[in-house]
A and B are shown apart, each in its own frame.
Chain A
Amino acid sequence: DAGVIQSPRHEVTEMGQEVTLRCKPISGHDYLFWYRQTMMRGLELLIYFNNNVPIDDSGMPEDRFSAKMPNASFSTLKIQPSEPRDSAVYFCASSLGRWVGKLFFGSGTQLSVL
């Protein structure tokens, strides 16, 4: 398996634009997580899915953020409208089992909102 695949690797956009980040989890994994990492706040869990169903989105900072998982092999994280404070590295990860399965991370998307 190729591991967790994220795209794009880098995204530069202007404030107010819509941003869509994509993730393909490892086949067979039943949990998918979206994390954000900044220098100030470190790693933060934004939302996670179990079998394509959102379970906990309490980490999503605002209504500008939304995430979907239309099928077992694809998830998106959307920011609309984007703001400079959204600049961060966004990681997607998947696992078999919730908190006790090994977590596999994608390589991340470096987002810069100007």
Chain B
Amino acid sequence: KNEVEQSPQNLTAQEGEFITINCSYSVGISALHWLQQHPGGGIVSLFMLSSGKKKHGRLIATINIQEKHSSLHITASHPRDSAVYICAVLSDMRFGAGTRLTVKP
């Protein structure tokens, strides 16, 4: 059993929809990271969270340390948001399997 679980595995949305990707972990953490992998393969770090909430443009990441759960939200989704989103507990070398998001125009 992967100690970092993501859901859903695949997500298809229409442009403009609000997107939520969830991540649950069973290990103790110092920080949780959200990564975005573009269709071309490049990986970008979106957020590093140890508590609370962070916002960058249309992206919002939240974490609940007590419940060991984090969410990544995308408001007003756009086709360019199509990518694989990966949550990671880097200190434990654990990665989620990724959520493949497709946003249709």
Contact = CB atoms under 8 A, between A and B. Distances in A.
Interface of A: 42-45, 59, 89, 91, 93, 98-105, 107-108, 110
B30 A43 contact: no
Nearest to B33: A103
Given A42-B96, A99-B91, 15 more contacts: A42-B95, A42-B98, A43-B88, A44-B95, A98-B91, A99-B30, A99-B31, A102-B45, A102-B48, A103-B45, A103-B90, A105-B42, A105-B43, A107-B42, A110-B41
Query: 4 tightest A-B contacts by CB?
Result: A99-B91, A105-B43, A45-B93, A43-B95
A62 to B, nearest CB: 17
B72 interface: no
Interface of B: 30-31, 33, 35, 41-45, 48, 50, 86, 88, 90-91, 93, 95-98
Contacts of B45: 102-105
Nearest to A46: B93
11 contacts: A42-B96, A44-B95, A59-B93, A102-B48, A103-B33, A105-B42, A105-B45, A107-B41, A107-B42, A108-B41, A110-B41
Contacts of A59: 93
Nearest to B94: A45
